[in-house]
Amino acid sequence: MKKIFLDANIVIDFLDASSKDHSTAVDCLSIIRKHFGKPVVSPITFIITNFILGKFAKNKDWHKKQMQYTFSEFEITPIQPSFIPALFSTHFTDLEDGLQHQCALHAKARVILTKDIKDYFDSKIPVVHPADFVNKYNNLLPR
């Protein structure tokens, strides 16, 4: 099955109903789950999502349960010590995105979905904006 790797910004938009890109993220995850199985994320995405959304959570127990429920629906890649030197042998200038890329490579992802296309200029995996991903699959559906 074709694995689709999600950058942290897609997961945050998915969880943040006030985001202008929330509906696109919801559509992305719906398409992925229906046609490709579990979306793939890295532990970095978990950390970033927890940090950003956790700042706004008044009830920490509720936040913890939401994180547990949400991330149980993803395949989570490992992070290996070898990813760090491999990252420095690339042209990635955003090191977090470079590390995400190393995780996607390890997972054998066939596509990376991110809003930060320009940060993945050195990607060995095709990189697609979530709106383009949704449009492509909506245009493939019979009318």
Per-residue pLDDT tens digits for 60-106: 999 999 999 999 999 999 999 999 999 999 999 999 999 999 999 99
- What range does the domain containing 52 cover? 4-140
pLDDT at 142 over 70: no
Q: How many domains does one find in the chain? A: 1
pLDDT band at 141 (very low <50, low <70, confident <90, very high): low
Q: Count Cβ atoms within 10 A of the Cβ of residue 109 and give its class: 0-12 exposed, 13-18 middle, 19 or more buried.
A: buried
Pairing mode, strands 127-128 and 111-113 = parallel
pLDDT digits (tens, 9 = 90+) for 10-43: 999 999 999 999 999 999 999 999 999 999 999 9
Task: Specify the pTM.
Answer: 0.93
Tell me the CATH number at 30. 3.40.50.1010
SS (H, E, C) the chain: CCCEEECHHHHHHHHCCCCCCHHHHHHHHHHHHHHCCCCEECHHHHHHHHHHHHCCCCCHHHHHHHHHHHHCCCEECCCCCCHHHHHHCCCCCCHHHHHHHHHHHHCCCCEEECCCHHHHCCCCCCEECHHHHHHHHHHHCCC
Q: pLDDT (tens digit, 9 = 90+) per residue, 45-57?
A: 999 999 998 888 8
Strand partners, 54: none
